[in-house]
Structure 1
Amino acid sequence: MRTLEKWFEPAVIVTMLGAIIVLVFADVVARFAFSTSVAVANEMARFCFVYMIYFGVSYAIRERRHMRVTVILDGLPRAWRRWTFALAEAVFLIYSVVVCWLGVIITQQSVDRGRIMSSTEWPLGVLYAAIILSGALSALRLAHSLWRVVRHGDDHLTPQQDI
Structure 2
Amino acid sequence: MLSRIEKYFEPVVIVTALSVVIVLVFADVVARFAFATSIAFAGEVARLAFVYMIYFGVAYAIRDRRHMRVTVLLDLAPPGLRRWMMLAAETVFLVYSLVVCWLGVVITQQATERGKILSATEWPTSVLYAAIIFSGALSAARLIHSIWRIAFRGETQLTPQMDV
- Partner of 1:88 in structure 2? 89
Root mean square deviation, CA, Å: 1.1
**What is the CA-CA distance between 1:139 and the residue it aligns to?**
0.1
TM-score normalised over the length of structure 2: 0.96
Paired amino acid for 2:10: E
- Asked if the contact 1:63/1:160 (under 8 Å) is kept, the reply is no
Q: Distance in 1 between matches of 2:110 and 2:162?
A: 39
Matched, 1:31 2:32: yes
SS of residue paired to 2:41: helix
Answer with 152-161 or 36-45: which moved more. 152-161
Who is 1:145 aligned against?
A: 146
Moved >2 Å (runs of 4+):
none
* Structure 1 match to 2:131: 130
How far has the Cα of 1:78 moved from its partner? 1.1
Q: Deviations over 1:51-94 (max 9, x none)?
A: 00000000000011000000011011111000011000000000
Structure 2, gaps ≥5 residues long: none
Q: CA deviation at 1:156?
A: 3.2
What are the within-5 Å matches in structure 2 for residues 113-128 of structure 1? 113-128=114-129
Aligned residues: 162
Q: Which runs of 5+ in 1 are unaligned?
A: none
For 2:44 and 2:83, locate their aligned partners in 1 and report how far apart those are by CA, in whole Å.
45
Percent identity, aligned pairs only, is 67
AA matched with 2:113: D
**Aligned AA (2:56):** F
Deviation at 1:7, TM superposition (A): 0.4
Distance 1:160 1:149, change over 3 A: farther
Deviation readout 1:86-136 (Å, 9 max, x if unpaired): 000000000000000000000000000000000000000011000000000
TM-score when normalising by structure 1: 0.97
- In 1, the alpha carbon distance for the partners of 2:116 and 2:161 equals 40
Corresponding position of 2:50:
49
Any conservation in 2 of the 1:9–1:58 contact (CA below 8 Å)?
A: yes
**Is the 8 Å Cα contact of residues 86 and 156 (structure 2) preserved in structure 1?**
no
Partner residue, 1:71: 72
Q: Does 1:61 align with 2:62?
A: yes
What is the identity, as a one-letter code, of the residue corresponding to 2:100?
Answer: V
